[in-house]
Amino acid sequence: MGTTSRFSNPYALLMVTMVLWGSSFASSKSVVAHVPHSVGAFLRFGGGALALLLAVAMSGSRTERVPARNGWLAAGAGVLGVFAYNGFFFWGLSLAPSLDAGILIPVMSPVLTSTFLLTTGKEKATWARVTGLALGLTGAGIFFIGAGGSGAGGSSRLLGDALFLLSAVCWASYTLAGPRVLAGIEPLKATTYATCAGAVLLGFLAAPDVADVAWSDLPASVWLNTVFLAIGPAAVANLLYYRGVGTVGPAKASLMMFNVPVINTLCATLLLGESLGWLQATGALVLALGAVLAVTQGKPPWRSADTKAQPPVADEPTVREATPARNT
């Protein structure tokens, strides 16, 4: 009885999702250490596409007809949310530590999304939202200054962090397109369409580099990490994520995303030996505080959402705003 309760608890499901997503940054970095970044991206999302197709087949919904327009919208979103996002992400991993990616991407994505909605008048300019965004952007600036320091990795790390920022821009854009993409198509199928479309393009991008890989010499760890990334963060995490958000609602689920940088920091530090300089650590802290303030709008987390899922509205951050979530 107790075991069943744990597996049906939405917060337990969401926490498992955050662990899978948080650990994916260090795992992806391990793959990129042995293969070109384009090949690493394709291995992960080619496998993820196969895992999601299997999930659709097992869910019994493969025979349900999806309107052509909805299918094309979801596939088009995959160009941005899977192909472009991960093209920049894996390229950045070849230049900068995964520690930077796990801080910049999940925290900057909601900051950029909210900034766009605020400047276009689609969100109310509350004091908490404006202050939070200002802190977030200030923290990002401090983080980049720290990354460019000679003792922190120099220009290579700075370029990698800039690519992570472009990944966050792609995910924020994908977030803004989300309501239209999900209209008329269930989330699992939308994710599958997007992932498959993005994986095909990543395959074309990786094709010139495939011949440069000494496949027979790759250590077993590369394949183990690839299988983990495809099944865990790409497939299982999405299924648990949607089940959890369907119970607790988007606002409360979005707060869980702030566990991702913590989990990533532990994985990158303990498994890869990565570290932040004091200036980057200061910037990361200011950035995280600003993002939390912007997302919660200064309200206690337990009052920020109902226990039931609600459709996203203009002045409420959706779950997607707090993560690149799904494809990291």
SS3 121: coil
Contact predicate 139/294, CB 8 Å = no
Domain boundaries, the chain: 11-327
183-192, 196-205, 257-266, 277-286: which is most confident = 196-205
In 3-state terms, what secondary structure has residue 282? helix
Closest listed residue to residue 190, CA positions, set 10, 33, 61:
61
- The DSSP symbol for 326 reads G
Structure tokens at 271: 């498994």
* Rounded Cα gap, residues 96 and 155, in angstroms: 10
* Better pLDDT: 130 or 165: 165
How would DSSP label each residue in 169-212?
HHHHHHHHHHHHHHTTS-HHHHHHHHHHHHHHHHHHHHHHHHTT
Phi and psi dihedrals of 186, rounded to 5? Answer: -70, 150
Q: How confident is the model at residue 118 (pLDDT cuts 50, 70, 90)?
A: confident
Measured distance CA(268)–CA(27) in Å, rounded: 9
Kindly indicate the confidence band of residue 63, based on its pLDDT and cuts at 50, 70 and 90.
low
Residue 90 pLDDT level (bands cut at 50, 70, 90): very high
Q: What share of the chain is helix, strand, coil (3-state, %, to 5)?
A: 80, 0, 20
270, HSE (Cβ side, Cα atoms, 13 Å): 7
Range of lowest pLDDT (33-47, 128-142, 281-295, 309-323): 309-323
Residues near 72 by beta carbon (within 8 Å), at least 6 away in sequence: none
pTM across the whole model: 0.77
- pLDDT value of position 313: 33
What's the pLDDT tens digit per position in 279-321? Answer: 888 888 888 888 788 767 666 554 544 444 333 333 333 333 3
Tell me what pLDDT residue 19 has.
92
Q: What Å distances lie between residue 208 and 6, 35, 38, CA to CA?
A: 46, 13, 9
pLDDT for res 230: 87
Six-digit token string for 124: 């109310």
Closest to 117 in 3D by CA, of 320, 324, 314:
314
